[in-house]
Structure 1
Amino acid sequence: MTIQFQHIAIIGTHTNPSVAQTVCQLFQLLCQHTNAYLENETAQTLDCHVDKSYSLKELAQICDLVIVVGGDGNFLNAGRSLSILKSIPIIGINRGKLGFLTDITPDEIESRLFPILKGHYVKEKRFMLEASIKKKDTSKYNHTTVALNDIVIAAGQHNRLFQMSVHIDGRYAFDQRADGMIISTPTGSTAHALSAGGPIMHPSIDAIVLVPMYSHSLNSRPLILNAKSTIVITIAEYNNPEPALSFDGHTKTYLQAGDRVQLKKCKKSVTILHPESYDYFHSLRSKLHWGKMLFP
């Protein structure tokens, strides 16, 4: 079998025994055809013997493909971290619950994964968001984080409604009193933003959506913006807030009244390889039950 990729990394950092089992199976199969490498934490969870394991930075320097075994959370973490180091295509094998991004099952490794390794795949680029924070007593924005799904500003320790002022491309847009705001990419539109009433955006759309979280208003609606937009959200003094800023579900920092968060499209993106049979709308129907008829 001719493999297009000569150096393949496997990441499956998870305590789930089924993840370790799939990683072992995949590693042994790949070693028969090409050079396979295991990430450090992944190797520690395995029963099978591995001579050497590698850090993410080392894998980024060595490998031309990454396979992530686990759930969507594992995929998001690996995709976000690796894309900052180097643009490396990623494939997901689902060992989680939903598996919206990891669209190959362990039973399909030979039938759907190996054709990709031979060069038969659909390539898709997903852009990320980056956020910078300017504290009220400073004059400059400091880079904080990037996210593939979403960046969320939500009620923090006091869990109280708070006020935000939103500017878009230097122009005042609106004020919002709510439990928070979700700023989502098309990738994240089927995650937290969807639960808060946001629209589903096809991954090919170059857009960002702002989704208020449980706004204290009857006329509050999600707002879709061109992805070239620069968004600045200022935390107001209402309710003495200390909201938390999180990226892809990971809390990064707490904010205070007067702090500003600047959000824009990240220059780096995540490249995903799907099987040739990949169908985004099939994923919506089968995994989110989108469009399901109430009556047959």
Structure 2
Amino acid sequence: MKNFYLVVNPTRDRGLDTANKVETHLKDNGCTVKTHISEKVENDIYTAADSIPEGTECILVIGGDGTMIQAARDLAELDIPLLGINMGHMGYLTDVEKDELIPSLNELIADRYTEDERMMITGEVVDRPEGEVLCTDRALNDIVVHRRGYMRVITYDVSVNGKFLKSYRADGIIVSTPTGSTAYSLSAGGPIVEPGSKMLIITPICPHTLNSRSIVLSAEDQIYISTGESDTAVSYDGRERSMLPAEGGVRITRSGKVARIIRLHDDSFLNVLHNKFTD
């Protein structure tokens, strides 16, 4: 690889010391690199796809998993692989640590890497079942339907492939990808799933019952969630994008786009999981 685009979270890389180090090393090795400071452009977009130069082979992301997720969402249409440089905490998606920065860049320049394809999901908010689409967005981790306003339990009706599945009395419903299984879904009691697998995971948030469990579905299934309430919202990877119409709902399916994540290490997912849980 010789052509790079660098996305930097300035709240993680204060003073841009790591960004400057990356840019200098790449240029010293005959590479081209354009640096972008990640700031909100519009509609929760932090990196505009049309700002990426033609011929870019890799997007380097300096920040934490949140920065990586945002870049994957913003740039999914471009189908360019991403490599994360970890400036955060857990670092499930960011493969490179600061103390191994230069050797990792050398491996990348020499094309010694592998790629993971991570499935994404799309959520369409509709004014009624099979009705007009009011809002659509995609997520790498999860789509969450949740209440707003004062604290109270809401009933969430969940259907799969047009057939009613279950009603949950809960604070919200998480629909996550395998990548998102180690994020909010895990905190809500959901299962940990190998990130390269293809499936959808439904997990209720604080269900008002003794026997509600997560449900794991095929990636090809279509999930529809409604509440009959006017004060529920839909968030994509933690960013609220739309209110849910009282007569409508949100239709969640596998996205036609994937996130291509570069790996420089051959650690298995279980080994990474062990290391993260024992840090």
TM-score, length of structure 1 as denominator length: 0.86
CA contact (8 A) 1:87 1:271 kept: yes
> Partner residue of 2:24?
28
CA contact (8 A) 1:88 1:271 kept: yes
What is the CA–CA distance in structure 2 between the aligned matches of 1:17 and 1:259, rounded to whole Å?
42
1:39 aligned counterpart, secondary structure:
strand
CA contact (8 A) 1:19 1:70 kept: no
> Partner residue of 1:45?
none
- 1:39 corresponds, among 32, 36, 55, to 36
1:275–1:175 CA distance, 2 compared to 1 (3 A)? same
- How many residues are matched? 271
What is the CA–CA distance in structure 1 between the aligned matches of 2:49 and 2:10, rounded to whole Å?
16
> Partner residue of 2:65?
72
What is the CA–CA distance in structure 2 between the aligned matches of 1:83 and 1:137, rounded to whole Å?
27
Greater Cα offset, 88-97 or 18-27: 18-27
What is the CA–CA distance in structure 2 between the aligned matches of 1:201 and 1:19, rounded to whole Å?
37
Q: Structure 1: where are the runs of 5+ without partners?
A: 43-53, 291-296
1:89–1:138 CA distance, 2 compared to 1 (3 A)? closer
- 1:82 corresponds, among 36, 60, 75, to 75
CA RMSD of aligned residues (A): 2.0
1:67–1:216 CA distance, 2 compared to 1 (3 A)? same
CA contact (8 A) 2:8 2:37 kept: no
Please report how far the alpha carbon of residue 271 of structure 1 lies from its aligned counterpart in structure 2 after TM superposition: 0.3
What is the CA–CA distance in structure 2 between the aligned matches of 1:157 and 1:19, rounded to whole Å?
38
Runs of 4+ in 1 over 4 A off after TM superposition: none
- 1:262 corresponds, among 251, 255, 261, to 251
> Partner residue of 2:42?
none
Please report how far the alpha carbon of residue 109 of structure 1 lies from its aligned counterpart in structure 2 after TM superposition: 1.4
Summarize the alignment of residues 111-190 of structure 1 with structure 2, pairs less than 5 Å apart: 111-136=103-128, 139-190=131-182
TM-score, length of structure 2 as denominator length: 0.91
- Residue 91 in 1 paired to residue 91 in 2? no
1:19–1:133 CA distance, 2 compared to 1 (3 A)? farther
> Partner residue of 2:44?
none
- Residue 210 in 1 paired to residue 202 in 2? yes
Percent of aligned pairs with the same amino acid: 30
1:19–1:59 CA distance, 2 compared to 1 (3 A)? farther
What is the CA–CA distance in structure 1 between the aligned matches of 2:243 and 2:87, rounded to whole Å?
32
CA contact (8 A) 1:113 1:275 kept: no
- 2:10 corresponds, among 2, 14, 18, to 14
Deviation sequence 1:203-243 (CA, Å, 0-9, x none): 12110000011111111110000000011111134xxx512
- Residue 289 in 1 paired to residue 266 in 2? no
Please report how far the alpha carbon of residue 17 of structure 1 lies from its aligned counterpart in structure 2 after TM superposition: 4.4
Greater Cα offset, 166-175 or 265-274: 166-175
Deviation sequence 1:99-119 (CA, Å, 0-9, x none): 121121122112233213311
- Residue 224 in 1 paired to residue 221 in 2? no
1:288 aligned counterpart, secondary structure:
helix
What is the CA–CA distance in structure 2 between the aligned matches of 1:40 and 1:56, rounded to whole Å?
14
Please report how far the alpha carbon of residue 60 of structure 1 lies from its aligned counterpart in structure 2 after TM superposition: 5.7
Larger Rg over CA atoms = 1
> Partner residue of 1:58?
51
2:52 aligned counterpart, secondary structure:
helix
What is the CA–CA distance in structure 2 between the aligned matches of 1:80 and 1:19, rounded to whole Å?
26
